[in-house]
Structure 1
Amino acid sequence: MGNRFFAWCASLLLALILLPVQAQAADQVAIISAEPAQLKVGNRAIITFQATLLGETPAARAQRAEVVIREILDGSADGRVSVDAIQDSYLVLLGDRRAFIVSPQDLGATDADVKQAAEAAAQRLRQVVEESGQARSVRFLLIAAGLSCAATLLYLLLLKCTGWLHQKALSWLPKRMRKHTSALRIGQTPLMDTSNLYPLVRRLLALLRWTLVALLTYEWLTFVLQRFPYTRPWGESLNKYLISLLRYVLDGMIAAIPGLMIAVLIFFLARGFSAFSKRLLERLSRPGTISWLNQETLQPTTRLTALAIWLFALAMAYPYLPGAGTEAFKGLSVLIGLMISLGASSVVGQAAAGLILTYTRTLRPGEFVRIGEHEGTVTEVGMFTTSIRTGLGEVLTLPNSMITGSVTKNYSRVVQGQGYVVDTTVTIGYDTPWRQVEAMLLEAARRTPGVVEAPAPQVFQTALSDFYPEYRLVAQAVPSEPRPRAELLTVLHANIQDVFNEYGVQIMSPHYLADPEQEKRVPPERWYTAPASKQHKDEQP
């Protein structure tokens, strides 16, 4: 006891002599900067030195403290840890020897903070002393090994139970799904198809199983590592990491609740405004209210209005969405904007052309039109494309930008009532009376089924060329007839040939140059030359 007291007095006297010199040097000369060094004993970090003290760098201080602590732990000296204050620093003693000094330069903080850091380092040193004793205890190590074995057996049992529950769920799930999906029917049609739903549920069960396996493995490893002194810091770090991760997730979820509530409120308001605008537009589309808003333009106008409302709501709610201020969200926004700017020019052009066609009512479904070299019945006018059905069994999909950039002939818009216009052109020589030509063309139109009598067909002389006049027959057809325009024109052209042959007039289409030596016409007795046969549809009533 006396030797320990004299040794402690000597250390204290030496520190009292050296510390004023150190304080004076700190005031006059800057502390030599060096890399921080961590004092680590028994795989446990005690403190990190950051300042040069008494001419020793942080690395030298950490090495000296580690040597002193190991000497004391390996020997039979007293392992008590205490803290003594020396001016503005704190001396951490292990037994009667100085382990290390905690100075303000190590923390750059006030005296109270330095004292707390010294007490925390002393507490960690006490834990190192305790673990050092446990590592030398055979009884403690045997107990730790037994607990680890028991934890391992429990871990394997839980893994087996997890696999058993997974198999039971896979065998039980199809029966329950078939039972419930059979009840969800509209008439004899099931609302859900188990063949498509079962793989998804099976993958979700597999994901749940492997998540449980990962959590069990993590907890088993944490428990086993904490049983042994040397690996205990690793187990504690794993446990702290899991707790901090869960705390981070929960804090993020709780912090996101106010923003989510505001975003949901904005979306509910947008939904209400969208429904109100729909009812308002339906009321404004009544006849006599707004000329451009009718039943044809009501649906696209409603969609555009709803789209504008939802885009505005999304822009307002974006700052309140979780993660909106993160770099990931910013990068995603930049990527989406770049994709839209590079690839959406044609899409925007097509959409604008679709809006022009819709609001100018250039085309309507059911009308017969000619767009460039394509003609047929309009089946759908979409936002980006328009579909027409030809008389040859084809369905053409035309870009809206092409339609707005070309001349469109509408054969259905100017007719009286339902139907469409059919027309054809012939050229006849000047030696044939024009009155006879007009009468024959009108007779051919009357013989054609589907051509209506009111309004009556008309014949126009569209040109007086050098060798022939040009006659154009214009008539109206009824769309309820079960034939497209191409078939009706075929029958009309056949009747024109028959009528002209009956009256002995030759058709010099498309160009009349001179009279041939023999007339180019077909007498009635040659109309049904083999293999042709007389058909009922060609007979005149």
Structure 2
Amino acid sequence: MRSRLLAVMFTVFGMFWSVQSWAEDAPKVVDAPLELKVANRSIMAFQATTLGEAPASRVKRAKAVIGEALDDADDLNVAIDPIMESYMVLLGSRRAFIVSPKDIDGTEYDSVQQAAEAAAARLRQVIAETREARNLQLILRSALAALIATGVYIGLLFGMLFVRRKVLKKLPELMHRHTQALKVGRVPLVDANFLYPLASRLLELVRWIVVMLFTYEWLGFVLSRFPYTRPWGESLNNYLLELGGYLLQGIVGAIPGLGVALAIFFIARGATAFMRRILRRMAVPGTLSWLNHETLQPTQRLTSLAIWLFALAMAYPYLPGAGTDAFKGLSVLIGLMISLGATSVVGQAAAGLILTYTRTLRPGEFVRIGDYEGTVTELGMFTTSIRTGLGEVLTLPNSMITGTVTKNYSRVVQGPGYVVDTVVTIGYDTPWRQVEAMLLEAAKRTPGVLEVPPAQVFQTALSDFYPEYRLVAQAIPSQPRPRAVLLSMLHANIQDVFNEYGVQIMSPHYLSDPQQEKWVPRDKWYPAPAQESKES
């Protein structure tokens, strides 16, 4: 008998141990939190299983108990009663629900008692609203208040329409009066015809904002008058108050940072003005060779840019919202844009600085850049503008100018003016002294070509069929188009002089040896207009 009893005990103990081990090894099921709502008002959120009941069962049981209690009586007493580590919320003599320690995990409550008292307070509010919903006199008062609020709301809307018509009627007169007062000399700074559409759109935007605000307040007030919709109205009002408090808190919190940013701004402004004065003093001739009246302005701009970039980097952390994701995204976008376009932009800017500090070009000089010729009108950081003799304005990238040969016709002349030159090719059977004399004669006949310094003729090449003669002279300073006219007049005079002395300008080309040798005998070295005294 004893052996059988021991066998049964060991069997039961083994089964209990197996069940316990299985329960420990089995995955634990986490119950989803479920909210208890009564009469459209949130009472409590159940998160744990209590007394074998899951959150769904607890909510279902609590709704049933509270509904039956409210159906039986309107005046119910709500109390809490501790039970071990939990608290039981009592509705009259009935247990409505239990608040356990696991129900407050991740919530704003510090203790189970505090959570139970808050749930009991909300339940008392539900009882009071249920009693109010069953009182016809209170419902009629609420409906009357809602009607009065609706009438005030409609009146405000019509008042806004009336004010809008009056303002739009007076707006043209006011704008014309104030825009006439804003003048620089006799020129108005703002045109009322362009400002009126902008002002009317701004007024329309303000009107819609005010209408939405009035609608929001009216809806929240009306919903708060009735027990069932009161939670919705309270949430609307609380959201507006929270939004206003958040904005006010953000504005107050941003004041110290804005103060620091403004201080950095004024310091940078003072430093910029100080550096401008220092650079103007250093630009005096004889102080620095690279700093003069031509490089002073770009140097001041670069110095100011460096100061303001440094100030922006210092003030950025103090700007409102500098640590938000929006600012971070904007910074990434700006950095991406700069990285994509920095190659060409930085290259053009560097080329502009090279042209400025090497003084390759100056405004007013006549230059030839590649295939383009004209007077420099503007030397910028990224582009250079030249005006041609045909009335065209060309904008050339600075990188192209630094990468090609630039001929400056104004830099080497004596005094103001520019160099004018042309090339002719004459056969070997024409004496070179006669060609030089005719070219100089054509230069003398051309208005605008200076006699001092005198024009010169150079034999630049002795080609197979003819020598090349280049006439170089200095012209008076003038606009680009007169220079083109001057070249045209010079070419016309060259043709006239050569025709007068019977010399053809057409250059010979041979397919075989000529029957007679192409040379000039000594007795024909000085035909007119050449003179023997010119021979060296």
With the length of structure 1 as denominator, give the TM-score of the two structures.
0.87
Consecutive unaligned residues in structure 1, runs of 5 or more: 1-24, 518-541
Determine if contact 1:50/1:106 at 8 Å carries over to the other structure. Answer: yes
**Change over 3 Å in CA distance of 1:304–1:515 after alignment to 2:** farther
Determine if contact 2:85/2:100 at 8 Å carries over to the other structure. Answer: yes
Residue 243 (structure 2) aligns with? 245
- How much does 1:250 deviate? 0.7
Determine if contact 2:258/2:318 at 8 Å carries over to the other structure. Answer: yes
The one of 354, 357, 366 aligned to 1:356: 354
Residue 59 (structure 1) aligns with? 56
**Change over 3 Å in CA distance of 1:515–1:444 after alignment to 2:** farther
Deviates more, 1:228-237 or 1:261-270: 261-270
SS at match of 2:294: helix
- How much does 1:180 deviate? 2.3
Residue 279 (structure 1) aligns with? 277
Residue 472 (structure 1) aligns with? 470
The one of 98, 104, 120 aligned to 1:101: 98
Work out the number of aligned pairs and report it.
491
> 1:483 & 1:394 partners in 2: Cα distance?
10
Residue 303 (structure 1) aligns with? 301
The one of 428, 431, 435 aligned to 1:430: 428
> 2:108 & 2:402 partners in 1: Cα distance?
78
Deviates more, 1:322-331 or 1:122-131: 322-331
> 1:413 & 1:31 partners in 2: Cα distance?
92
> 1:112 & 1:184 partners in 2: Cα distance?
64
Identical aligned residues as a percent? 69
Q: Which amino acid aligns with 1:318?
A: Y
- How much does 1:343 deviate? 2.4
Q: Which amino acid aligns with 2:72?
A: G
SS at match of 1:306: helix
The one of 27, 31, 34 aligned to 1:34: 31
The one of 81, 86, 95 aligned to 1:84: 81
Deviates more, 1:176-185 or 1:248-257: 176-185
Determine if contact 1:285/1:295 at 8 Å carries over to the other structure. Answer: yes
**Change over 3 Å in CA distance of 1:390–1:509 after alignment to 2:** farther
**Change over 3 Å in CA distance of 1:292–1:512 after alignment to 2:** farther
Determine if contact 1:324/1:330 at 8 Å carries over to the other structure. Answer: yes
Q: Deviations over 1:317-374 (max 9, x none)?
A: 1111111111111111111111121123212211111111111111111111111111
Deviates more, 1:485-494 or 1:77-86: 77-86
Residue 369 (structure 1) aligns with? 367
Residue 531 (structure 1) aligns with? none
Determine if contact 1:32/1:52 at 8 Å carries over to the other structure. Answer: no
Residue 532 (structure 2) aligns with? none
> 1:226 & 1:466 partners in 2: Cα distance?
108
> 2:163 & 2:489 partners in 1: Cα distance?
75
Q: Deviations over 1:127-148 (max 9, x none)?
A: 0001111111111111111111
Residue 291 (structure 2) aligns with? 293
- How much does 1:199 deviate? 1.6
SS at match of 1:423: strand
- How much does 1:161 deviate? 0.6
Matches within 5 A, 1:455-466: 455-466=453-464
> 1:482 & 1:78 partners in 2: Cα distance?
103
Matches within 5 A, 1:154-169: 154-169=152-167
SS at match of 2:428: coil
Q: Deviations over 1:259-297 (max 9, x none)?
A: 111111111111111111111111111111111111111
SS at match of 1:52: coil
Q: Which amino acid aligns with 1:204?
A: L
Residue 236 (structure 1) aligns with? 234
The answer on 1:70 being equivalent to 2:74 is no
CA RMSD of aligned residues (A): 2.3
**Change over 3 Å in CA distance of 1:221–1:58 after alignment to 2:** same
> 2:80 & 2:382 partners in 1: Cα distance?
81
> 1:494 & 1:516 partners in 2: Cα distance?
33
Determine if contact 1:450/1:481 at 8 Å carries over to the other structure. Answer: no
Matches within 5 A, 1:151-300: 151-300=149-298
Q: Deviations over 1:81-115 (max 9, x none)?
A: 11122232211111111111112121149996211
Q: Deviations over 1:173-202 (max 9, x none)?
A: 221222222233344322321112222221
Residue 390 (structure 1) aligns with? 388
Deviates more, 1:213-222 or 1:133-142: 133-142
Determine if contact 2:465/2:508 at 8 Å carries over to the other structure. Answer: no
Q: Which amino acid aligns with 2:55?
A: P
**Change over 3 Å in CA distance of 1:171–1:78 after alignment to 2:** closer
Determine if contact 2:378/2:386 at 8 Å carries over to the other structure. Answer: yes
Q: Which amino acid aligns with 2:390?
A: L
The one of 488, 501, 504 aligned to 1:503: 501
- How much does 1:511 deviate? 5.9
> 2:269 & 2:74 partners in 1: Cα distance?
78
- How much does 1:430 deviate? 2.2
SS at match of 1:228: coil
> 1:413 & 1:420 partners in 2: Cα distance?
8
- How much does 1:482 deviate? 8.7
Determine if contact 2:264/2:314 at 8 Å carries over to the other structure. Answer: yes
> 2:278 & 2:104 partners in 1: Cα distance?
69
**Change over 3 Å in CA distance of 1:279–1:512 after alignment to 2:** farther
Deviates more, 1:316-325 or 1:196-205: 196-205
> 1:428 & 1:186 partners in 2: Cα distance?
64
- How much does 1:400 deviate? 1.1
Q: Which amino acid aligns with 2:191?
A: D
SS at match of 1:200: helix
- How much does 1:76 deviate? 2.8
> 2:255 & 2:515 partners in 1: Cα distance?
93
Residue 524 (structure 1) aligns with? none
Determine if contact 1:159/1:213 at 8 Å carries over to the other structure. Answer: yes
Residue 12 (structure 2) aligns with? none
SS at match of 1:484: helix
SS at match of 1:48: strand
- How much does 1:31 deviate? 8.7
> 1:193 & 1:107 partners in 2: Cα distance?
65
> 1:213 & 1:327 partners in 2: Cα distance?
31
> 1:372 & 1:112 partners in 2: Cα distance?
82
Q: Deviations over 1:218-259 (max 9, x none)?
A: 111001101111000000000000000101111111111111
- How much does 1:500 deviate? 1.2
Residue 144 (structure 1) aligns with? 142
